[in-house]
Structure 1
């Protein structure tokens, strides 16, 4: 019997034995059965399992673990009993050492497969991944959906993988312990005052999510209820219960009446304390990079983008600053700058920093944070990086440092950099480009464009920002090689250019 005929006979729900020989980008196990590749959630490399087919395609399929026949030597007992149901910690059953190896290999594999870099090239530039000493309790932000279970009982927790069914979670081990007390206080208030939970199917009910932020340095706590309405009833009682909790600094509600999966709406109302909490990111010594321990303060509102793992963020940003090799004389562009977290780090060692971000609130936060720290050499512009950067590059009236910066730092969203943005970076010809990435697949694609445009890959280092998940952050240094001017063609018009929209 040929493998093809065997595959044709396999049906959904069939049982079969499978040896897991690899892991996919999200931590799923990969094995082959009669020439057909299967992807299996919760299976680890080295497992021998009894699998049940759940979906079959022509050349591959999906299965679930029915029984672990022989466990992987890398399998450990997860600390959270809900890890399989919740889906938030895809690889918690994998030893932490192997988690780091998996993520390091994920980055290298994408650079080879998508970026076209050779194994020999990567051996020269890839540094060991930076892991965590304590890979639990690292998240400074949590968003808990609120709803009712099948018995009509009020629950908070997280959505099960690929569903909107809430798995009750009282104390997520990735989040801070303060979350548990906040959830208990809010639920007690809802039950006491008969405040209804939101029902996605009908669009009725009030409380949709509970957003909690925590300052690791200041120990300040923020609570924001996302509600399906324009007012919060019985808020005095809620304030009484929350305001007595240690570290409570900010209590607010956010209005979201849309039938959408987007959590936060546009309007937030502070009802007690400050409309933000404050936290600090410290500049750390990394390798040959020696600096005084400097702390930069940030005001963080419910809608601010702020890295969720402050311990690793300090290592990541300090490494990005090390790669930038600033002496105090350089001009720097920080693209996709958010609330200015990296920009303000760079400003400590640069002559001038220019940040670009598309989110208006983030730009306002960046300007506020610069003023908070007394930083005057960081300027921020609102707009898309792929639109703002070319307009500045094409203006003969601007400072040469803006048109031809010494360093460009990019920290784009998961989709990576826009093609126009990459073209303009190549045209600007900075001495160094520091690329911070949350997706090594789009990173690999963009690096190939930059290297083909004349830059040399100098250093690649992965950071475990999200322990027990399949995600990995990466910082890359590129330096200017011999630029082939024929490769860099950027067509930009100077006609009717209006710079006022970017102030």
Structure 2
């Protein structure tokens, strides 16, 4: 079979769009080529690396006509690190591109060309926003390295600085690289499944300034733990918690099931708005606290609560959205499949003196019908599913019981669009979609969509 494009071709192409992971898209006689680093509107010279039946991949050799929105990425490892995809695009253009990507899936997948997609709500200062860092360690040519993985690999890009994470994470990463060899601590080698230190995890509470450090190790036995704790305290005075997480498995999953307190409290406390949350070593908590408040306020605005409504929060996690909703609802029922998260949600409700929430562990598609069978009626349903979108059975459950309003919080516009089409076919109407930029300089965008039953 012959293609318009062949492997090892060198071509001059015009970039038309970006993929969902930030690569430029060019078309040669209708054949798409994906080109990392290229931006819409640019003319670039490329070397074709791979051709498949429906699309191919190419490496950019030169920018012949640059985009007016191209900038010099401020991070020195941006070209190789997989953490950010869009630092070479101005922030204003990033927001425009993200809105375009949402508009595209609303048209193409949801078949909703008339539904308003608003301008993306971005950040005033889109740097140093991540309150959680997960930093792998390794040894290369006898030297300890740490940083972040190259795109689609487990090869570490060594760095001492990441300008989207906290300065505390930078300082701890650099300090441990200097010190662990002196202490005789071996870094973990995932190829041989040997060594000790796997990851450094740093969590910071933005409102209280508390910092938790988690050392992920291959063994429970950690002879140098006291020296490491003292070094951490010397480096970062606002560290209030040092934990050891043990992960003995030969896996690329970061954390194991057992966590030991080495120093301080088991949790740090943060606030979103006026609600406090306890965050443990393994708690899920949104990594951008500034935009989390924007996202949750949007969900609350769409819910339109007056104080008389009973609300379901499916995929409720540790109760973050539930407690926001509870301030303005009659009652909120939260369901989450992870039992530990439900325990955290109950504790967070108690911490804030909120008494009109009810949390239950289980699959939403099982628990929600049980609530209806018990005679409970619901006015609003809020869903905040993982990237794969809502479980098919949950969508069937929504369409069976038909709560009057659905607020869909999504971290994946593609699966959001798929699910909106299903709900539309079942009698709901999508009123509007508001994108929120939770991850500046990456290709990701979150959305909140409002649906109600058609009259």
TM above 0.5: yes
Q: 1:452 deviation in Å?
A: 1.7
Corresponding residue for 2:222? 232
Structure 1 residue 185, shift from structure 2 partner: 3.1
- Does structure 2 conserve the Cα–Cα contact (< 8 Å) formed by 1:6 and 1:34? no
Distance 1:270 1:324, change over 3 A: same
Structure 2: which 5+ residue stretches go unaligned?
none
- Pairing 1:480–2:427 present: no
TM-score (norm 2): 0.97
Stretch moving more, 13-22 or 137-146:
13-22
Secondary structure of the corresponding residue to residue 79 of structure 2? helix
2:421 paired residue number: 448
Q: How does 1:151-190 map to 2 (within 5 A)?
A: 151-190=141-180
2:348 is the alignment partner of 1:363: no
> Post-superposition shift, 1:34?
3.8
- Give the aligned partner of residue 125 of structure 2: 134
Cα distance in 2 for partners of 1:376, 1:75 equals 51
Question: What is residue 14 of structure 2 aligned with on the other side?
Answer: 19
Question: In the TM superposition, what is the alpha-carbon distance from 1:5 to its structure 2 partner?
Answer: 5.4
Displacement of 1:36: 2.2
User: Which is further off, 175-184 or 467-476?
Assistant: 175-184
Give the direction of change, closer, same or farther, for the CA distance of 1:235–1:59 in structure 2 (3 Å limit): closer
After superposition, give the CA deviation of every residue in 1:236-291 in whole Å (9 maximum; x if it has no partner): 11111112323101101101011111101001111100011110001xxxxxxxxx
Q: Which residue of structure 2 lines up, in the alignment, with residue 487 of structure 1?
A: none
Residue aligning to 1:372: 351
| Structure 1 residue 6: Cα displacement | 6.4
Provide the rounded CA distance (Å) in 2 between the counterparts of 1:348 and 1:53: 56
Q: Secondary structure at the match of 2:92?
A: helix
Maintained 8 Å contact 2:102/2:117: no
CA distance in structure 1 between the partners assigned to 2:280 and 2:299 by the alignment: 25
- Normalised TM-score (structure 1): 0.88
On the 8 A contact 2:27/2:33 being kept in 1, the answer is yes
Runs of 4+ aligned structure 1 residues displaced above 6 Å come to: none
- Give yes or no for contact 1:23–1:30 (8 Å, CA) kept in 2: yes
SS in 1 for 2:302: helix
1:146–1:208 CA contact under 8 A, matched in 2: yes
Cα pair 1:52 1:64 within 8 Å, conserved: yes
Match of 2:244 among 230, 241, 253: 253
**Counterpart-to-counterpart distance in 2, 1:42 and 1:457:** 35
SS at match of 2:120: strand
Residues 154-303 of structure 1 aligned to structure 2 (within 5 Å): 154-244=144-234, 245-282=236-273, 295-303=274-282
Is 1:62 aligned with 2:57?
yes
Could you list the per-position Cα deviations for residues 296-315 of structure 1 after superposition, in whole angstroms to 9, with x for gaps in the alignment? 00000110000000101101
Instruction: Measure, in 2, the Cα distance between the counterparts of 1:323 and 1:274.
Output: 37
| Counterparts of 1:6 and 1:56, CA distance in 2 | 8
Contact 1:46 1:74 survives alignment (8 Å): no
**1:369, distance to aligned residue in structure 2 (A):** 0.6
Q: CA deviation at 1:111?
A: 1.1
**1:157-210: CA deviation from partner (whole Å, max 9, x where unpaired):** 001111111001211111011112211332344122110000011000000000
1:326 aligns to what?
305
- Superposed counterparts of 1:312-461, under 5 Å: 312-393=291-372, 395=373, 398=374, 400=375, 402=376, 404-461=377-434
Deviation at 1:386, TM superposition (A): 1.7
**Correspondence 1:76-91 to 2 at 5 A:** 76-91=71-86
| Superimposed CA distance per residue, residues 129-165 of structure 1 (whole angstroms, 9 cap, x where no aligned partner) | 101111111100010000012x221011001111111
CA positional deviation for 1:332: 0.6
Q: When the two structures are aligned, how many residues end up with a matched partner?
A: 454
For residues 423-480 of structure 1, what are the alpha-carbon distances to aligned partners after superposition, in whole Å with 9 as ceiling and x for unaligned? 2112222221100000111111111111222112112100000001110000011112
CA shift digits 1:328-349 (9 cap, x unpaired): 1111100000110000001111
SS of the residue 1:218 aligns to: coil
Q: 1-side partners of 2:254 and 2:53: how far apart?
A: 37
CA drift at 1:59: 3.6
Gaps of 5+ in 1: 283-294, 483-503
Q: Counterpart of 1:391 in 2: which secondary structure?
A: helix
User: 2: distance between equivalents of 1:82 and 1:22?
Assistant: 24
State how far apart, in whole Å, the 2-side matches of 1:315 and 1:152 are: 46
Change (3 A) 1:408 1:5: closer
Aligned residue in 1 for 2:42: 47
User: 1:361 deviation in Å?
Assistant: 1.4
Instruction: Give the Cα–Cα distance (whole angstroms) in 2 for the partners of residues 411 and 225 of structure 1.
Output: 30
Instruction: Give the aligned partner of residue 290 of structure 1.
Output: none
Q: Secondary structure at the match of 2:201?
A: strand
Deviations 1:50-90 (A, max 9, x none): 10111111342100111112211111111102111002111
Q: CA deviation at 1:126?
A: 2.3
For the aligned residue pairs, the C-alpha RMSD in angstroms reads: 1.3
The CA distance in 1 between the partners of 2:397 and 2:110, in whole Å, is: 20
